[in-house]
Amino acid sequence: MTDDRDTHTDTAAVETGPADTPTPADPAAAGTAEPPLVLVAVGTDHHAFPRLIDWADHYARARPDVRVLIQHGASVAPDTAEGVAYFDRGGLGAAMWEAAAVVTHGGPATIAEARDRGHLPITVARDPELIEHVDDHQLRFVARLDDAGLVRSCSSYQQFCATVDKALAQPADFRLGEPAGGGTAAAAHRAGRLIDLLIGEPDPRSAAPAPHPHPTDTWPEITAIVPTRDRPDLLRRALEHIRDQDYPGTVRTLVVYDRAEPDRTLERPDAARPLRVTANSQAPGLAGARNTGLLAAETELVAFCDDDDAWLPGKLRAQAEVMRAEPDTELVCCGIRVDYAGTESVRVLPRSSVGFTDLLRSRLTELHPSTFLLRRSALVDGCGTVNEEIPGGYGEDYELLLRLARRSRIRNVSDPLVRVLWHPRSYFGGRWPTISTALRWLLTAYPEFRLVPRGFARVAGQIAFAEAAAGRRRAALEWSTAAVRARWSEPRAYLAAAVACGLPPAAVLRALHRRGRGL
């Protein structure tokens, strides 16, 4: 279950029309007979950008009252929207004059051209981890422009649709007033000014950088969020290990009781290790319980700990050191020790950071939720809290990892600092139909899996195994076939086929668990 990585390159070309191209009349004055035009431009780079093409094509399918024109470059032409590989000279500028909204990739020249034509561009950065570029410069560049209010960036299909809809409904918010004009030379000059943001030249109009959030001689307070239900003995063990952390700062513990009466006798007012309990006020289940803790926490740093797991003494100190040294880091994980039936296996990820495509390729079991140390603002004010809508709540921790990795790389401490207990009382033990439904939901929610054959094969193999264990042989074989077509060596596909033919699924899981492995 190792991961491999692909990369590429990009050059942005300036595509502009004549300097004296006339400014179009106000679209409102022209009547409503013609549908509004959404122009999507991916530039002239030789790398394909199928993610943006798919988003725009799906948008065209869902909004038949909108005309969508996609300049798709090296990518496959869209199925529903209008498509052109490349514009003739002047064609891109003319299309931008006509468009009600302009969507661009993260190339400086294309962004400058859109702004030159009076648009606030809706921008989707190419991601090298999705084989869309050679490096992450577009991600960093677009993030800077978005912070400066020069573009509206999008990182998910849902955000893309919502932003384009808003541009059509509230056009004034996406117009820059009188276009700057000036033709090719001026557009190139503006592109150069934008590139300055990428390479780090300070803009004299920008604010001073934010100070380091934690002075080097202090340790930030941390809230440990512990969801629990009907496991008092295991819970008390988990709480003891949190209390005994070798951490110089304050560690607050918040125990969230899910569908159970809180045990108030656990509360303690200790100044350095205070503990309080509360009831789950969100959706029943693990996701809702975690969100209850997130919303109630009063510290910026929060950490998850399941009630059947145990933190080793140096866990918080090692992770907080990363957070203190790297203020932009939003999530730090660490290695685990898996305890199954008295046998312990060490699972350590030998790398210091993890990206989005790493997680598409592999679940990376080492990144267990009980290892998470997070910035609360990254969820509550950023990508959203733990998803409570996943069928049965299965895999909510993995889905959260995917969302956070889309924002920035996840940091990892390569030491086993959490002991994870695997046991038959696991909530999802034997809930195969729920597992299958949740995994199929995941493939729909993250179409990027289709771009990573290894990752798609892994999830398809898991679905196949769940269907086989549930006794649905035909569905199991169909998903096994899909997994093998994506990656012929996917082991879960063959295990699923064996279970469909009569091998007991419990025996397979026991064999995996004894080796510290999951499905």
For the cut 50, the answer to whether the pLDDT of residue 15 exceeds it is no
Per-residue H/E/C for 110-152: HHHHHHHCCECCEEECCCHHHCCCCCCHHHHHHHHHHHCCCCE
Tokens 């054959």 appear where?
453
Fold of domain 222-422: Spore Coat Polysaccharide Biosynthesis Protein SpsA; Chain A (3.90.550)
Task: For 270-326, write each residue's pLDDT tens digit.
Answer: 889 999 999 999 999 999 999 999 999 999 999 999 999 999 999 999 999 999 999
Length of the chain: 519
Burial environment of residue 170 by CB neighbours within 10 A (0 to 12, 13 to 18, 19 or more): exposed
Q: What are the tokens at 34? A: 């013609």
Q: Residue 244 has what pLDDT? A: 95
| Residue 143: band (very low, low, confident or very high) from pLDDT cuts 50, 70, 90 | confident
Per DSSP bridges, beta strands 331-340 and 410-422 are parallel
Neighbouring C-beta atoms of residue 317, cutoff 10 Å: 15
**Which residues, 6 or more positions from 114, have their beta carbon under 8 angstroms from its beta carbon?**
41, 96, 102, 104, 121
* Rounded mean pLDDT, 223-251: 95
Task: For 39-88, write each residue's pLDDT tens digit.
Answer: 999 987 778 899 999 999 999 999 999 999 999 988 899 999 999 998 88
Does this model's pTM top 0.75?
Answer: no
Of 422, 429, 374, nearest in space to 400 by CA? 374
List, as one string, the DSSP characters of 347-379. E---SSEE-HHHHHH---TTS-GGG-EEEHHHI
Q: What are the tokens at 31? A: 């009547």
SS3 state of residue 186: helix
Tokens 């276009």 appear where?
179
**Which residues, 6 or more positions from 263, have their beta carbon under 8 angstroms from its beta carbon?**
232, 255, 257, 277
Tokens 């409503």 appear where?
32
Domain ranges of the chain: 27-199, 222-422, 432-514
Phi then psi for residue 365, to 5 deg, are -55, -25
Q: Residue 43 has what pLDDT? A: 85
Task: Report how far residue 436's alpha carbon sits from residue 120's, in angstroms, rounded to the nearest whole number.
Answer: 42
Fold of domain 27-199: Rossmann fold (3.40.50)
Q: What are the tokens at 349? A: 């990820």
List the beta strands (DSSP E) in 327-471: 331-340, 343-347, 353-354, 373-375, 410-422
Task: Report how far residue 144's alpha carbon sits from residue 15's, in angstroms, rounded to the nearest whole number.
Answer: 23
Task: For 175-220, write each residue's pLDDT tens digit.
Answer: 986 544 444 444 444 444 444 444 443 333 333 334 344 444 589 9
